[in-house]
Structure 1
Amino acid sequence: MSRLGPIVTLTAGAVLALGLGVASITATPAADNTAATANDTETASQAPEETPEGTETAAAEPSPSPTDTPTFEESTPPAPKKADYAGRVKGNGGLIAISLRKGKAVGYFCDGKIEAWFKGDAGSGDLELEGFGGAKVTAELAGGKATGQVAVGGKKWSFVAPTAVKPSGLYRASAIVRGARVRAGWIVLKRPQGGFTQVGTAFQDDKRVPIPELDGDSPTSPVSVNGTTVTPEDVDGFIEEMR
């Protein structure tokens, strides 16, 4: 369990085409013309010319221009339809989580002082997610991990976030109680040596309140946020609200 200090919120959002064309064009040479006799000339004036039997004439086809030659083009592989990534942010100590569902992506970054939500499209393996106030995540999805940078509050850090397997991942809870909106977000990351690292934030309206710890083995169990019971959801429960 990693519990980090007061925060400032910035909230938000191939296949190689191998083309090698080889055009082989052969033109059959036209047959030699035989000089016409005087009688032939007279006959020709009365009847149409006939192509000598057995002689074929083929029009030569134009050779392809240099611009017709196919070139090698590289495209980015598509993003997975469903995937979850979570890991540490280098040089910052915070955590980042990114989840993809059917062409859409959401992300959350928190280090205990700064937090930000992100969203965007996930059509390819190159992600660009936007957050509030110019916050941004860029990442490449390859080799079972998301590798990239997160920029928040004028600062930028790099990260490598491996594929996350539940209960690791991104969680959120929200409720409206007596006219006040309660919301909270968590990243849960299982440690190789056992136990869990967690980071998150909670607010009642715009006021930060203490963040409760999730049950690492059952992170969707109800918890109390500033005296209000809320039920955390994994990303499948709230990604539609962020689109």
Structure 2
Amino acid sequence: MKRPGPLITLLAGLLLGLFMLSLNVTTGTKTVSSTPKKESPPATASPAPTKTTASPGPSPSRVPAPDASYAGRTDDDSSAVAVTVRDRKAIAYFCDGHSKESWLKGDVKDDGSMRLTGRHGDELNGTLQQGRRIHGSADVGGGHYAFTADEARKPSGLYRATATVRGARLDGGWIVLPGGRQVGVVTRGKDASAAPAIAPETGAVTVDGQQLTARPATP
């Protein structure tokens, strides 16, 4: 009886080959990592640069009219004009030293211009220049008068006195020009005449035998 050695050896080799083949297939499978792969955040567009608009510079400030008094003559040298400015308001007096006179008042704008009005349609228009003088014109009693009034320092300036004398209302106005010359008119009711001189240092004046005090006129 023959031994089955070669056949058994062949079968054993065949089984071993199948086993090894099966082992290679099993171990050859790639292992997939269970750790999730980090995803890069989506790219975002950079914000557009903000446009900066330069703010406009401050408008040049205007200097308000200074508190001061001004006095001068009309260009034809027939009359005098005085203006007093206080807190952007002005009072003015026009007189010829005989019988024509007018009191006017109004506001002074930041640019130094002024339009002052009085009775009977009288009007004064002027412009303050560098706080030193006023150039303008006055329309009084039907006449038109150009004038220049320079800054007046005491005792120069504008003075006024009001009172009741012998039952009649008295209103006096005086312009003391730089240099000391005086021009004034006193009105008694409806009658007007040249005013007597005042003492500028005190304002003392005698009118129709009555002792009065003329004081600086202010708006």
The TM-score with structure 1 as length reference comes to 0.63
Between Structure 1 and Structure 2, how many residues are aligned? 177
* Residues in 1 aligned to 2:202 and 2:123: alpha-carbon distance in whole angstroms: 27
**Cα gap change, 1:210 to 1:137, in 2 (>3 Å):** closer
2:209 aligned with 1:224? no
2:69 aligned with 1:84? yes
Cα shift readout 1:77-96 (whole Å, capped 9, x = no counterpart): 4211x111111110142111
Whose RCO is larger (CA < 8 A, sep 6+)?
1
| RMSD between aligned residues | 2.8
* Residues in 2 aligned to 1:76 and 1:206: alpha-carbon distance in whole angstroms: 43
CA shift, 1:137, in A, is 1.1
**Cα gap change, 1:180 to 1:135, in 2 (>3 Å):** same
Quick one: which amino acid aligns to residue 85 of structure 1? Y
* Unmatched 5+ stretches in structure 1: 1-49
- Contact 2:184–2:194 under 8 Å retained in 1: no
- Contact 1:146–1:161 under 8 Å retained in 2: yes
- Contact 1:105–1:119 under 8 Å retained in 2: yes
CA shift, 1:58, in A, is 3.1
Quick one: which amino acid aligns to residue 89 of structure 1? T
* Residues in 1 aligned to 2:159 and 2:89: alpha-carbon distance in whole angstroms: 17
Matching of residues 132-211 of structure 1 within 5 Å: 132-143=119-130, 144-191=132-179, 196-211=180-195
CA shift, 1:56, in A, is 2.1
Matching of residues 102-141 of structure 1 within 5 Å: 102-111=87-96, 112-124=98-110, 125-141=112-128
- Contact 2:123–2:138 under 8 Å retained in 1: yes
Quick one: which amino acid aligns to residue 234 of structure 1? P
Q: Which moved more, 1:205-214 or 1:152-161?
A: 205-214
* Residues in 2 aligned to 1:132 and 1:122: alpha-carbon distance in whole angstroms: 19
Cα shift readout 1:179-204 (whole Å, capped 9, x = no counterpart): 3211110001132xxxx211111122
Cα shift readout 1:147-169 (whole Å, capped 9, x = no counterpart): 11111123222111111001110
SS at match of 1:190: coil
**Cα gap change, 1:157 to 1:119, in 2 (>3 Å):** same
Structure of higher CA gyration radius: 2
* Unmatched 5+ stretches in structure 2: 1-39
* Residues in 2 aligned to 1:61 and 1:134: alpha-carbon distance in whole angstroms: 60
Percent identical pairs in the alignment equals: 37
